[in-house]
Structure 1
């Protein structure tokens, strides 16, 4: 039997469905994992045990779906009129992949560290070279990528989605930066991360509606 290849129309229809569904699921899953995130100091992480890793698994699943969404949107090419547009989508895709790596690292590394050295969890002393190669690019590329993508979306009639994605990614990243600048027990960390993830998730929902 010969295999029937999909027509361009059916392929685009599949990409539209994939982009829509992954946008609708990826944003809320990332938000849910952020909302359920326990306290970030070493003693609290040790106390909650597997729950810390589970919240990161939920976030990672959301980010993975977002990667699929962005790749599908790039393949569709609906919001691309010049080369700079394509670069912004790739920047957001790279930022999402780096943040995916950071979430996986955080969710697997810190529970182990919290068992025998809780005082150094989420402290500069625990940031060695391999970890820095993940953490620092993620902290830079994730927010900048989504600010750039937000600007591109605004030019194509998706201003609200662009603003929500850009502002949400920046606010969420600021919450993560507070961990190292103000300490893991700083009260505004969860506030900024949940607020940022909320805006970010709504932005993905709007992208899904227009996929």
Structure 2
């Protein structure tokens, strides 16, 4: 066994502990406490395991789980971008690329390449696995906001059109889950927890 490889892997494991400190805008279900990135990633991984049968295409569930566990690690350096932030517009940035290279670069070369490739695949959103992983990523905060009487929608004055625009990507990974999500969005308008102009 190569001791140097083990040391690099341990360094990476220690570094990603910082994900637990990255606060997201969304709050836990039926709670006032903000979720952190580690909780978010764990929840998405569980959702992927549970909901995989609803994917539009056959998927490699382990690859989806890797994607959702890896996708926000770059926020250790780049910070969390709120999905409704209109200045950054939640797109891949140079900061995130630098973060991916630095953080995944702590790993031994083969693992580093694999993790960067998985992260890039998620960001591109083109494969069945990436589409389904992104479905999970967009569904979880929708469930949180509906459980919290509008949550961040009300807190940041987000309207129906912005929510619909950001959430419609769910359909690319699962038409079944999108049907459910669309109903939730419309019910939120009817309940008065999501503003529609």
Higher radius of gyration, 1 or 2: 1
TM-score bin (small chain): 0.3 to 0.5
The two structures have a TM-score, normalised by structure 1, of: 0.33
The structure richer in helix per residue is 1
The structure richer in strand per residue is 2
